[in-house]
Structure 1
């Protein structure tokens, strides 16, 4: 695994949703690095990838959640080593019991599948059905790491670019949360 600058030169075999992420970042003139790797389905599988991305990079769990009625949907970015407590988050956002949303909602709203959940999927949420939630600790590192809507590559870019340029272009106002 090797960290490379920008989009792949050869797009053969890349899915359209991944290419759309590179197009989106390039349109915004975001400087980013990329590492290609085997499919990473769990945080444990991401450990080697995390080392390539570097210590100054926030590697997060991306949790796709919904309320009990499956009428409100949330994408939570939380540090990979931080435990997720549903009750704590529910109280902060004023939502009744949260649970993991079904994969079909993930595909419907974000055009991503389990194991590939990423903030970049919000570019596909044109109906704005998903509320972005970011744990405050994500913002403390200089760089942010995420998948380009597939779990066979990982991206690294400045956290300031995420907050000041990428999220506004995604047209999703984040809610910052504090989770223990």
Structure 2
């Protein structure tokens, strides 16, 4: 028996920008050399105001997946965060294959904007309450060679437009 279901390629930054434009959401993108870690992206701080993000793609033992989006320097206690986000057990990092399958991104490019690719609603998105105090939130636009700035409330509006209701919770230490 052959699998006839087509694999839909993940959306690109251009698809994301078009989606934001269609929603009337203002966004600004700065292109830069690829960055894979928060440490590598620090040099961009002076050029890009607002809250910069770190994203943790985690899962529990029942294969419930979560994307935790927190301020870049915040720390998350992976031993206890499951009690805050409603996971069935302690969490561990999700595999890169699931990251690509669900969010359409590779490690190093993980972003809250991945919600645009989670058409099966396999991921629960968690936005840290401390991060959401920032007026502007900065995320990769599905690749790590650019940073897109968006208003905090528009980030939530974007997620809701993708069919996701993000949880805004304090998940950082």
State the TM-score, normalized to the length of structure 1: 0.85
**What residue is the counterpart of 2:143 in the other structure?**
150
128, 131, 134: which one pairs with 2:124?
131
Q: CA deviation at 1:108?
A: 0.5
**What residue is the counterpart of 2:60 in the other structure?**
67
Q: Which is helix-richer, 1 or 2? A: 1
Q: Using a 3 Å threshold, how does the CA distance of structure 1 residues 16 and 172 change in structure 2: closer, same or farther?
A: closer
Tell me the alpha carbon deviations over residues 87-126 of structure 1, each in whole angstroms, 9 at most, x when there is no partner: 2311112320101100000000111000001111111111
Q: CA deviation at 1:50?
A: 2.4
Q: CA deviation at 1:16?
A: 5.6
Q: Distance in 1 between matches of 2:144 and 2:116?
A: 17
36, 40, 63: which one pairs with 1:41?
36
**Paired residues for 1:31-180 under 5 Å:** 31-54=26-49, 57-69=50-62, 71-95=63-87, 96-163=89-156, 165-178=157-170, 179-180=172-173
Does structure 1 conserve the Cα–Cα contact (< 8 Å) formed by 2:59 and 2:66? yes
**Most deviating of 17-26 and 127-136:** 17-26
Q: Using a 3 Å threshold, how does the CA distance of structure 1 residues 140 and 74 change in structure 2: closer, same or farther?
A: same
RMSD: 1.4
**What residue is the counterpart of 2:7 in the other structure?**
none
Q: Distance in 2 between matches of 1:23 and 1:137?
A: 29
**Structure 2 spans left out of the alignment, 5+ residues:** 1-9
* 1:29 matched to 2:21: no
Q: Distance in 2 between matches of 1:24 and 1:44?
A: 30
Q: Distance in 1 between matches of 2:122 and 2:11?
A: 22
Does structure 1 conserve the Cα–Cα contact (< 8 Å) formed by 2:11 and 2:104? no
SS in 2 for 1:51: coil
* Matched residue count: 162
